[in-house]
Amino acid sequence: MAKYILKRLLRSLLTLFIIITIVFSLLRLMPVEGYFQNYEKMTSTQVELGLQKLGLDQPLPVQLLNFYKGLLQGDLGVSNKYHRNVPVLEIIAEKIPVSMSIGLTSLCIALAVGLPLGILMARSTRTRLKIGDKLGTAFVVLIQAVPAAIYYLVIQFFGTSVLHMPLRVSMDQPVTLILPVLSLALGNIAYYAMWLRRYMVDESNKDYVRLARAKGVPAADISRKHIFRNAFVPLVQFIPTSVILTLMGSLYVESLYSIPGMGGLLVTVIQRQDNTVVQALVLFYAAISILGLLVGDILMALVDPRITFGKKGGAR
């Protein structure tokens, strides 16, 4: 097990290294305006001196090496435009709790609603009218077919115009978080319900379930102790994907509701061309995404005893 985790961890670190290197190199191809507050008013000599101070006049490999040295020491540079000369880590540290609280809350709600919905849909397939499955499928198709930006706007319009809920989010007033959390949760609710329903239907048609029914085992026990337990195992691998979807959705939702979090910050610093902060935020999002995939691999191995950690016997 330890060897398996170490292997996955090293692979994740390699992936993160490649992503950081590519992003760093691409940002160095961007115009140098993003490193100066008043570039239009600066002379060419001032620009050259500024680039020397930032170490941007050196060859790209040297710049990359210096960046990794600073990264290992917890130094991601300072902001050049958003908050001039303020350390990037200090800026991000103020935003992380906001984004994490909203993102984790939406994921918890998605699990709490999506899993029961998937169970209801799967059980409904064995009824005569299949009303639960039809209504659930209609919801899933609607959410999957409509672009997220569209139903984000619909939720915002309905919530503010009909329910008269606040448009701007205040972390001191939990009621203002309802609309953005709901917006982020909807996609994952449909995602969990769709896959759990599929896996439970597949499990319900297997021989061991038919044998249990033939022996007179109550349907509720079969569904809870056997079908759901076995169907939930492959669903674990989709949890990291839902984390990534939540991160992507937060970029738009936080801007839509003026949430002082990571997503809104990334949009702002891109608009202001603050390359140093953009670089740090991309690093953060990449690290969270890779960490989510790593945790998904480990959870999959832990909950499924059929997965082995060696090269023999159907190793992954």
Domains and CATH numbers, the chain: 96-272 (1.10.3720.10)
Which of 23-27, 150-154, 236-240, 254-258 is least confident?
236-240
Residue 314 reports pLDDT greater than 50: no
In percent, how much of the chain has pLDDT > 70?
93
Most confident of 43-47, 114-118, 202-206, 297-301: 114-118
In percent, how much of the chain has pLDDT > 90?
6
Which of 42-46, 197-201, 267-271 is least confident?
42-46
Q: How far is CA 202 from CA 135, 194, 234, 247, 277, in A?
A: 20, 13, 12, 31, 47
Mean pLDDT over 289-295 rounds to: 79
Give me the pLDDT at residue 243, please.
74
- Alpha carbons within 13 angstroms on the beta-carbon side of residue 217 total 16
Give me the pLDDT at residue 98, please.
84
- Dist CA 25 CA 239 (whole Å): 31
Tens digit of each residue's pLDDT (9 = 90 or more) over 91-105: 888 888 888 888 888
Give me the pLDDT at residue 306, please.
58
Most confident of 108-117, 209-218, 227-236, 262-271: 108-117
Tens digit of each residue's pLDDT (9 = 90 or more) over 124-140: 888 888 898 999 999 99
Place of tokens 């029961």: 116
Its pTM stands at: 0.76
Give me the pLDDT at residue 311, please.
52
Give me the pLDDT at residue 308, please.
56
Give me the chain's average pLDDT, please: 81
Give me the pLDDT at residue 313, please.
45
Mean pLDDT over 282-289 rounds to: 83
Residue 5 reports pLDDT greater than 70: yes
Residue 286 reports pLDDT greater than 50: yes
Distance of CA 54 to the CA centre of its chain: 32
Most confident of 63-67, 110-114, 263-267: 110-114
Give me the pLDDT at residue 1, please.
67
| More confident call, 156 vs 52 | 156
Residue 85 reports pLDDT greater than 60: yes
- Dist CA 144 CA 20 (whole Å): 31
For Cα atoms 195, 285, 282, give the angle at the middle one, nearest 5 degrees. Answer: 140
Mean pLDDT over 218-241 rounds to: 77
Burial 200-225 (b: 16+ CB within 10 A, else e): bbebbeeeebeebeeeeeeeeebbee
Give me the pLDDT at residue 297, please.
73
- Dist CA 229 CA 207 (whole Å): 16
| More confident call, 43 vs 14 | 14
Of 290, 232, 239, 102, give the one whose Cα is nearest residue 180: 102
Residue 242 reports pLDDT greater than 80: no
Q: How far is CA 96 from CA 90, 93, 128, 266, 284, in A?
A: 10, 5, 49, 12, 10
Mean pLDDT over 242-265 rounds to: 79
Give me the pLDDT at residue 19, please.
86
Give me the pLDDT at residue 80, please.
79
